[in-house]
Amino acid sequence: MPEKETLARARRDAKAGKAPSTQAGEFVREEIEHIRARPAGASGHSSGLLPVPEAGRTSARTRQQAARDARQGRSAQTAPSQKRSAATLRALKKEPRSAASHRALARQAKSAARTRRRSTGGSK
């Protein structure tokens, strides 16, 4: 769901008689801000521990192991090795930071517009 501020800016553009693409640009702007705000190494995994499974869902042995892990404050999965973590970090640092640059966005917008023109059957 878009933020209230973004909706207000898009409505303001509509009232001013600006093109629909300009109005939609506000939503693109919001998404770009979200991308730029994301931390560099975000992988989408939560760091919270899983609860111990209920009886009847898993074997007694699995529940005991999960309870033991929970008492020791660790998840059921073992932590990755330091070598692997360092290698991942090095690889991430080499990734480009220009995904949301003006140039990259312009390139994406142009290709999307080309696709739209082709699919609607309209003229250039």
Q: Is the pLDDT of residue 17 over 90?
A: yes
Cα radius of gyration rounded to whole Å, the chain: 24
85 neighbors 43 (Cβ within 8 angstroms): no
pLDDT for 105 equals 84
Query: Model confidence over 63-102: pLDDT tens digits?
Result: 888 888 777 766 656 667 889 889 988 988 888 777 778 8
CA dihedral for 77, 79, 84, 85, sign (positive or negative): positive
Mean pLDDT to the nearest integer, 110-116: 85
66 neighbors 76 (Cβ within 8 angstroms): yes
Its pTM stands at 0.34
Residues 6+ apart with CB under 8 A from 13: 22, 23, 26
Query: Model confidence over 32-42: pLDDT tens digits?
Result: 888 777 765 55
pLDDT for 49 equals 64
Q: Is the pLDDT of residue 44 over 70?
A: no
Domain spans in the chain, listed from the N-terminal domain onward: 1-37
pLDDT for 11 equals 92
